[in-house]
Amino acid sequence: MQKRGVVLKKTFSFDKELTVNRLGYGTMQLPGKGVWGPSTDPQNAIKVLTTVLDNGVDFIDTADAYGPLFANLYLKKALQQRPHTKVMVATKVGLTRQGPDKWTPNGRPEYLRQQVELNLFSLGLDQIDLLQLHRVDPAVPLAEQLGVLRDMQAEGKIKHIGLSQVSVQQLEEAQKIVPIVSVQNRYNLVDRADEDVLHYAEQHHLAFIPWFPLATGKLAADQRLQQIAAKYDVGPAQIALAWLLKTSEVVLPIPGTKSVVHALENLKAQEIELSEEELNDLNELK
Ligand SMILES: NC(=O)c1ccc[n+]([C@@H]2O[C@H](COP(=O)([O-])OP(=O)(O)OC[C@H]3O[C@@H](n4cnc5c(N)ncnc54)[C@H](OP(=O)(O)O)[C@@H]3O)[C@@H](O)[C@H]2O)c1
């Protein structure tokens, strides 16, 4: 999977007009504990977002379910503070919340339609660049879940459609209903269970957006990465991100952090070109 001796492109193109830096940012750490309620420090949450925007991040992943809505509201404020910064916003619909760390899918078309509207409103946008179905709801036919998103795409409210946490089979089924441009699955240095989905994304030029790129922060403290990290004068988190960036040109990592310092540190991963020997060592960590 790793590309040996080849310098990969730092950008990914969704279409002729939409090219983004591959290293993005995810907003899930910004709301309160358990991704529930407001941040204990909303000004800091907005500052993290303006910091990444000021430092070249132009791909931001969010969801109506983060808070719910608080992450979107912080992002809206940050976008208002940077009106001239071009940024691709990727959001999601299809998960409902019942409390801290509680998530339940709802793929009923009328609910998805409502949530696309709420995403537009809470983000202050007229169109969503990338709308991802957060989870396929097993209780609702996929054609109904994607059918309403296809309708809203035709209405101009959605530019591109993506999926989250799906199998290759579900991707193939979905592609028959509406064009899919991205897939967001759990994937990182120590969790490569969905490599088949990554292969599919690479073959079909879909963006592969690995969530938990730092294994929820565990990789930022992984001593096994320390030796390589020291060589580049960075921390283990940046090595884990550099490894992801080296995996394929279709990989767009979206590390989450509520820390301005960590957000800036993570951006250094873009400058690291891991050697073949380092890649071999990292691949062994599986
Ligand atoms: N599609 C889905 O179902 C799904 C599921 C989960 C997540 N996501 C998306 O994926 C994004 C990333 O996932 P995630 O945020 O849950 O997990 P993650 O990026 O794997 O890890 C986030 C954790 O790493 C820590 N961290 C980040 N940078 C660090 C650094 N430089 N040094 C030390 N610690 C660092 C953060 O703590 P600090 O805040 O203290 O920095 C936080 O606890 C989310 O924000 C969200 O957009 C999607």
Among residues 66, 74, 187, 200, which one is catalytic? 66
Residue 77 confidence class, pLDDT cut points 50, 70, 90? very high
Rounded distance, CA 85 to CA 215, Å? 30
Residue 277 inside a domain? The answer is no
- Domain span at 123: 11-218+249-272
CATH number of the domain enclosing 28:
3.20.20.100
> Residue 147: is its pLDDT beyond 80?
yes
Closest ligand 1 atom to the C-alpha of 217?
A: 24
Judge contact between 135 and 142, C-beta under 8 A: no
Phi/psi at 126 (5° precision):
-95, -25
Q: What is the domain count for the chain?
A: 1
Residue 279 inside a domain? The answer is no
Judge contact between 106 and 146, C-beta under 8 A: no
Taking residues 124-142, report their average pLDDT.
Answer: 98
Q: Ligand 1: distance of its center to the CA of 143 in Å? A: 31
Name the amino acid, one letter, at 17. E
Residue 241 inside a domain? The answer is no
Q: Which two tokens stand for residue 85?
A: 């910064």
pLDDT digits (tens, 9 = 90+) for 215-262: 999 999 999 999 999 999 999 999 999 999 999 999 999 999 999 999
The pLDDT of residue 1 is: 62
In short, whether 258's Cβ falls inside 6 Å of ligand 1 is yes
Average pLDDT for the chain: 96
> Residue 12: is its pLDDT beyond 60?
yes
Residue 231 inside a domain? The answer is no
Strands in the chain per DSSP E: 11-13, 19-21, 25-26, 59-61, 88-93, 95-99, 102-105, 128-133, 158-164, 182-184, 207-208
Name the residue of 33, 104, 257 to mutate for ligand 1: max ligand atoms within 8 A of Cβ.
257
The pLDDT of residue 159 is: 98
Residue 230 inside a domain? The answer is no
pLDDT digits (tens, 9 = 90+) for 31-68: 999 999 999 999 999 999 999 999 999 999 999 999 99
Residue 285 inside a domain? The answer is no
The reported pTM is 0.97
Residue 235 inside a domain? The answer is no
In short, whether 212's Cβ falls inside 6 Å of ligand 1 is yes
Residue 271 confidence class, pLDDT cut points 50, 70, 90? very high
Q: Ligand 1: distance of its center to the CA of 222 in Å? A: 15
Nearest to 257, CA basis, from 22, 110, 44? 44
Q: Is 74 a catalytic residue?
A: no
Residue with CA nearest ligand 1 atom 43: 217
